[in-house]
Amino acid sequence: MENETSSMIGQSEPLTKATTSRLMAILCLVWLLAAVGLAGCNFLAKLPLPSPEETPTATTVPGEATPSVSPTPSRPPAVSSAIALTIWTTEEFSPEDDDSGQVLAQQWQAFEAARANVTIEYVLKKPYGKGSILDFLSTSSAAAPTVLPDLVILDTLELDEAAMAGLIQPLDDLVSNELQQDLFPFARHSFDGQLMGIQFEADVEHLIYNTNKIDSPPLTWREVISDQIAYIFPAGGEGGLVNDAFLIQYLSAGGQLLDEEGKPALDEGTLVEVLQFYADGLEAGAIPPVVLDFEDLNDCWVVYVSAQAAMSNISSARYLADRGVLKNTSFAAIPTRDGNAGTLSKGWALAVVTTDLARQAIAAQFIEWLLEAENNADWNLAAGHLPTRQAAFDLLGTADPYFTFARQQLENVHPRPMTSAYEKIGRALQKAVQDVLTGEVSPEEAAETVMAVVEQ
């Protein structure tokens, strides 16, 4: 418009009335447009705001699927800045060069590839004692909180201590309900009613037997005693505490160790029954006195493979590692008072340390990723452990009868005592086992002593 005006003014011929009128019209139009532009802010300010129903809603653009995480009101939106998620772990659970480490490395890399702004950094720590993960958590939380990781891998036996000290964060609102419900119950580790850790691998104790000596394994104590075939298990105590073999028998018979407040709540009658089984088995020759020399399952293993015992307790990890070289051996549930399947689990769990909400959200996604059914199955297969998700066993199928058996065992895992109050109980029970198997006292006397000690 400005060019058009200048062109007209630059004409050499004199202005005519028509030309003048046309020029004035153009100038008026320019003035009007300028006036409207200056008044634009006030004009828009007087327009009514749109109602919520009229407000456009953003549409989510479909993208690559990521592990599902339950949305929570307190969770912030995803951050766009780079995050280096730090995890403290042990050598056994690190992406190193062995078979299981390579599987883990691939899973970590796939997690990073699906999230351009996230990287995983791991720091190796000792599994137990001074310089361990729990030890560093305890010392660093007060002295150097900035060096704390986002995630840790802890032995499930240490989760209560970490939770009691406020070193790890609740997971109830961080991980999806789908994952929580699909875990075997023992893998959901709670403290004071809150989910504090998720066990991602498990080892359970069960029976193996020599098929050249036994046609079918005993299901009950009565069958063990009547068959008079040597049955071995650890009875020498581990770290001064009674072995899992005794606890499995006691809990499977309906016994209780602790009440809801974590205080001793032993059933004296059930104690007498289990101790009487030990005494009767010893007298019948089914339980050899040498079981007092076995502190753990490895001691039993040496005796079993040398064909000195027809039946032995074993860990699932040992069986998976060595079943290829075992001859004439099959597996079964540990014989119990009534033939009810029962066992205990050992394993490691993932827990969140960071209190930063954005980092918690990413840490939870990482947990979900590692616990994806396929990932959980693949890593445990490579590492020689058992998955903790039921969906992982669905993927394993039924072609291998051991995994069908293992799934049944995991469905019958008794809760393991992990409070400080248990130490007194465990020591008292071990003293009772030793006194009964050496013939020093009767099962009734040993049980009375246990009750007196724990109630002090």
- Mean pLDDT for 342-371 is 97
Q: Which long-range contacts (CB under 8 A, 24 or more apart) does 440-447 make?
A: 442/279, 443/271, 443/272, 443/275, 443/276, 443/278, 443/279, 444/272, 446/271, 446/275, 447/268, 447/271, 447/272, 447/275
- Mean pLDDT for 235-253 is 97
- What's the Cα-to-Cα distance from 168 to each of 133, 183, 308, 334, rounded to whole Å? 12, 20, 46, 35
List the structure tokens of 54: 């009229």
CB 226 within 8 A of CB 390: no
- Mean pLDDT for 155-175 is 96
Query: How big is the chain by its Cα radius of gyration, in Å?
Result: 35
- What's the Cα-to-Cα distance from 31 to each of 22, 25, 26, 376, rounded to whole Å? 15, 10, 9, 74
* pLDDT for residue 111 is more than 90: yes
pLDDT value, residue 40: 36
CB 388 within 8 A of CB 199: yes
* pLDDT for residue 364 is more than 90: yes
Backbone angles phi, psi at 420, to 5 degrees: -65, -25
Task: Provide the whole-model pTM.
Answer: 0.80
Per-residue model confidence as pLDDT tens digits over 251-267: 999 999 998 888 899 99
List the structure tokens of 320: 């998976």
pLDDT value, residue 419: 77
* Lowest mean pLDDT segment, chosen from 12-21, 112-121, 250-259, 338-347: 12-21
pLDDT band, residue 455 (cuts 50/70/90): confident
Angle 292-293-297 from CA coordinates, rounded to 5°? 95
List the structure tokens of 289: 């006195």
Q: 204-344+415-454: same fold as 83-202+346-410?
A: yes
- Mean pLDDT for 412-425 is 88
CB 199 within 8 A of CB 348: yes
Question: What is the DSSP code (8-state) at residue 387?
Answer: -
- Mean pLDDT for 156-184 is 97
pLDDT band, residue 80 (cuts 50/70/90): low
C-alpha 51, offset from chain centre: 47
* pLDDT for residue 118 is more than 70: yes
* pLDDT for residue 237 is more than 70: yes
Helices (H), 177-266: 177-182, 221-227, 244-252
- Mean pLDDT for 388-394 is 98
Q: What residue segments make up the domains of the chain, in order of their start?
A: 83-202+346-410, 204-344+415-454
Label residue 100 exposed, middle or buried (CB < 10 Å: 0-12, 13-18, 19+): buried
CATH code of the domain occupying 204-344+415-454: 3.40.190.10
Give CA–CA dist 333/158, Å, rounded: 27
* pLDDT for residue 108 is more than 80: yes
Per-residue model confidence as pLDDT tens digits over 143-155: 889 999 999 999 9
Q: Report the CATH superfamily, name and number, of domain 83-202+346-410.
A: Periplasmic binding protein-like II (3.40.190.10)
Any residues with CB less than 8 A from the CB of 207 and at least 6 apart, and which? 217, 311, 312, 313, 314, 331, 332, 333, 334, 335
